[in-house]
Every structure is written in structure tokens, then in C-alpha cells.
Amino acid sequence: MEIARRRSDRVKTKRSAYTPAKTARKAVTVASTSDRSSKVNTTDHSAEYALNKNKAIRQKLDASNRTFAVVPEFSPGNLVLTFTAGAYEEFKIVSLSVLQGQGLSIRRTNTTDINKAVVSESVVVNDAQNKLYVLNFYNTSSKVVLNGNQLHMSVFISSTLPDILNVLDHNKDFITINSKIRHCCTAY
């Protein structure tokens, strides 16, 4: 007797075999400057496509015109944070700094297109033994997707995220930053 198992829509995609020859990976270990022993392992992953630069610029321009600095949205199993372009760039830097300050192990994967443009960044956060959650940073759309174990995600949302947003609240200059990003995008 076979038991039918329900599969999430996230895993219903076509599986492909891992082929090391298809991707160029480079691992770099960076030591943290904090007192706690935290390491960031960075890996580069090459995607097999070229980024549509015009579309990416339009998306960044749209992000610089958003009304609110951050808009949270819950989707099944994920928290999606949509930022203005300026708030996104600062969130990326501040969140890595806060996570390192907590002494967590961070494995970062930068996905680049065939022209070496960084399209997205994936940050896997672990404690001593367990994978806690993953922060996926999408550079062209200025969105961050948090996914992973629901318990660990709720701890991140209730304790770490407020610390990060508190640092972002001290920067009242997002209007100027977004204006500069708009200027650069329209000049392109």
C-alpha cells in the first residue's frame, strides 16, 4: 500500500542534475570583525544567461519611486520584503552586519550572469549545528525573501528584524538616496 504525499509547489519544478563543470564556483572565507567568532563563506555561482540590462534598470527605477521604504508580505512559507532601492541597499549591508554580530555562521552565494553582473545573493544562516533560514536578496527588484524553518523564521522576525529596521530608521536620507539612484538609472 503506497501512501500519497503532497508536494509543495516550490518543489514541483523539474529537477536537474548537479554538474560542477556547468558552474564556476569560488569559495572565499572572510573573518568577521566582531568579538564573536563568526565567519562568512562566500561562493560565486555563474548563471547561464545574460541579464536584461534595460529591464533591470527599469525595475531599479520603479523601486526608487516606491512610496514606502519597506512593505512586508507573507506568502506560504515565506516573508517577502519589498524595499525602495535605497532602503534595499542599506538593509542588505545592515542585515549581514547584525547577523555576524550574533555569532551566526553565514554562507553567502552570489549568482552572477555570464557578464559577471551580480543578479541575486543568497545568505544561508546557521547556528552551531542547524540551518536556521535563508535570506534571498534580489538586486534588480529590490526584494528580500526570507524562508526556512517556521520557528527559526519567527525568531528572526521577532528579534533580529526589529534590530535591523531600527538601524534603518536612523537613516532619514532615503529620499536623497532614491533620487540619486533615479538619476543614475535615467542617465543610463
Domain boundaries, the chain: 23-187
d(CA 148, CA 135): 9
Q: What is the DSSP string of 98-132?
A: HHHHTT-EEEEEEEE-TT--EEEEEEEEE-SS-EE
What is the three-class DSSP state of 151?
A: helix
Q: Which amino acid does the sequence have at 117?
A: A
Please give the model's pTM, rounded to 2 decimal places.
Answer: 0.75
97, 88 Cβ separation under 8 angstroms: no
Q: For each of the chain's 188 residues, which pLDDT tens digit applies?
A: 444 444 444 444 444 433 333 333 333 333 333 334 456 777 888 888 888 888 998 999 999 888 888 889 988 889 999 999 989 999 999 998 888 888 888 999 999 989 888 999 999 998 878 899 999 999 999 999 999 888 999 989 998 999 888 888 877 778 888 889 888 888 87
What is residue 38's predicted lDDT score, i.e. its pLDDT? 52
d(CA 88, CA 92): 6
∠ CA 69-72-76, nearest 5°, is 155
133, 148 Cβ separation under 8 angstroms: yes
What is residue 33's predicted lDDT score, i.e. its pLDDT? 37
Q: How far apart are the first and last CA of the chain?
A: 62
